[in-house]
Amino acid sequence: MVIHNAYRRYMYSYPHKTAYQYIENLQLNECSSELVKSPTTLYFHIPFCDSKCGYCNLFSIPCKSAEKINSYIEAVKRHSKNYREVLNFKGAQFDSLTFGGGTPLILSINQLEKLFDIAKYDFGIDWDKVSISVETSPNQTTHEKLAYLKSRKVNRVSIGVQSFVQKELDKLKRFHSVDKVKKALKDIKHVGFDSLNIDLIYGISSQTLESLRYSLDMTVSYEPNEIFVYPLYQRPNTSIYRNFNLDKELQYRMYFMICEFLKDKGYFQTSMRRFVKDKPSEENSCGFDNMIALGCGGRSYIGNLHFCEKYTSKQSKCRDSLNKYIKQNEFFKGLSFYKLDNDEMKRRFLIKNLFYYRGVPLSDYKEYFGTCPYEDFPVFNKFQLEKWITEIDGRIKLTPLGLSLSDYIGPMLISDVVAQKMERFCDD
């Protein structure tokens, strides 16, 4: 295999939003029964950022206007009301609360309090019974806000550091200083949370194996429970899209250096991107979890129904979508959706489990679908021949080589129907 093909697509969810189709009025009345079948995450999407990072194609918008953010929170309240009008949350198994973005800590404490109130009073979230995770950036991380999060029993803080080398941060158009990173991490450690995650990026223009090793060394010095290390992608509608050339062979070598370095430091690898201090003890399969998303740019999953606003990565379109959201009173009209059939549910189950360390449990697959992955998807025979997968204790698992090629193998599991819809997507 040619190494430069290792990074084709990050399969963080399936199907991708670009495969979703427009629906004038989404009916959710029949979905209530799905909420009692599987664990559910309540997700707040905070699209606001201090500045737009050069590599980011997510739904995020530079904005510091307290008035605009307050208007957004009022819309989130109406969004929550819409959910409660059409869905019965009695018996829903909420097991996690997540604040993502964007940069959630760009919000003031008073603004954050309003979102926590929505979670508590509208959805019955019990701080003692759920895992609560908040994303942040160095410039927005203050001791006062961290203390507030601690008082709200936040379990996990995830901070986007990306590099401890200023030149590399500048290349990424990541507008924080290394000193600011160190101050933020010092404050996080001082306040104390059950779990700290640090995000890094590899493949940055001018980055070397030595400078990456330095960033890794600095990272582990803060003893994070979790480290995500992402390969840099060149994505359209990002400000550095055509401003650099990726050395994909070097990037692939960096991956193996990362794995070796973190293993030597006592970290356990759970996926191509994620490393944890303590190996997870839970061995349940995943793929049927629900998510209720509040806010513009969030994506919801209820059973086999996925829905969100129309996907875009263009800043002008993101702003238009945000302004429309703020004015809305009805939030289930004019959405994009995808209803997965049995074949797509199989693919989602495989993608969610294969690229995680515990692999695909054949007994669970048989129980859910009545068949076997090798029969349903002949491409698994190719995976075996290439020595990308192996079968251990009734599970199909990626080999170390297969794990390194997660972003190459993943796209092979996209159905022809989804692939065609993604190709026809027009971001206009």
Q: Are residues 246 and 390 in the same domain?
A: no
Whether residue 361 is predicted with pLDDT greater than 50 in this model: the reply is yes
Q: What is the mean pLDDT of residues 385-407?
A: 97
| Residue 109 within a domain | yes
Would residue 226 count as lying in a domain?
yes
- Looking at the structure, tell me whether residues 373 and 239 fall in a common domain: no
Supply the pLDDT for residue 46: 97
Domain closes at, from 260, 276, 292: 276
Q: Quick check: helix, strand or coil at residue 188?
A: helix
Q: Is residue 323 part of a domain?
A: no
Per the domain annotation, does 143 fall within a domain? yes
What CATH code is carried by the domain that includes residue 135?
3.20.20.70
Q: Are residues 242 and 370 in the same domain?
A: no
Same domain flag for 110 and 185: yes
The answer on pLDDT for 245 being more than 90 is no
Query: What Rg value do the Cα atoms of the chain yield, rounded?
Result: 21
Using the predicted structure, report yes or no on whether residue 2 has a pLDDT greater than 60: no
Q: Is 410 exposed, middle or buried (0-12, 13-18, 19+ CB in 10 A)?
A: buried
| Whether residue 267 sits in one domain with residue 349 | no
If asked whether residues 163 and 246 sit together in one domain, one would say yes
The tokens for 327 are 């004015």
Q: Are residues 239 and 357 in the same domain?
A: no
Asked if 371 and 237 sit in the same domain, the reply is no
- 39 in any annotated domain: yes
User: Over the stretch 19-52, which tens digit does the pLDDT of each residue have?
Assistant: 999 999 999 988 999 999 899 999 999 999 999 8
| Residue 75 CB-density burial (10 A; 0-12 exposed, 13-18 middle, 19+ buried) | buried
Quote the pLDDT of residue 3. 55
**Is 322 a member of any domain?**
no
And the tokens for 310? 């129309």
Is 371 a domain residue? yes
Q: What percent of the chain lies above the pLDDT cut of 70?
A: 98
| Domain count along the chain | 2
Tens of pLDDT, residue by residue over 160-194, are 999 999 999 999 999 999 999 999 999 999 999 99
Q: What is the mean pLDDT of the chain?
A: 94
Q: Which of 200-204, 292-296, 313-317, 392-396 has the lowest mean pLDDT?
A: 313-317
User: Looking at the structure, do residues 106 and 227 belong to the same domain, yes or no?
Assistant: yes
- One domain, residues 256 and 371: no
Domain edge (last residue) among 254, 276, 298: 276
**Structural domain boundaries enclosing 403:** 342-416
Q: Using the structure block, give the residue that is written with the tokens 């401003």.
A: 243
Summarised one tens digit per residue, pLDDT across range 309-354 is 999 989 999 999 999 999 999 999 999 999 999 999 999 999 999 9
Give this prediction's pTM. 0.96
The answer to whether residues 89 and 187 belong to one domain is: yes
Q: Other C-beta atoms within 10 Å of 116: how many?
A: 21
Please report the pLDDT score of residue 4 as a whole number. 56
Could you tell me if 348 and 272 lie in one domain? no
Of 276, 298, 330, the residue that ends a domain is 276
Q: Is the pLDDT of residue 274 over 90?
A: yes
Task: Mark out the alpha helices in 97-153 (DSSP H runs).
Answer: 109-117, 123, 143-151
Does the residue 393 lie in any domain?
A: yes
The CATH code of the domain that includes 381 is: 1.10.10
Q: How confident is the model at residue 146 (pLDDT cuts 50, 70, 90)?
A: very high
Helix axes 66-86, 315-327, angle to 10 degrees: 60
Tell me the C-alpha distance between 132 and 41, whole Å: 10
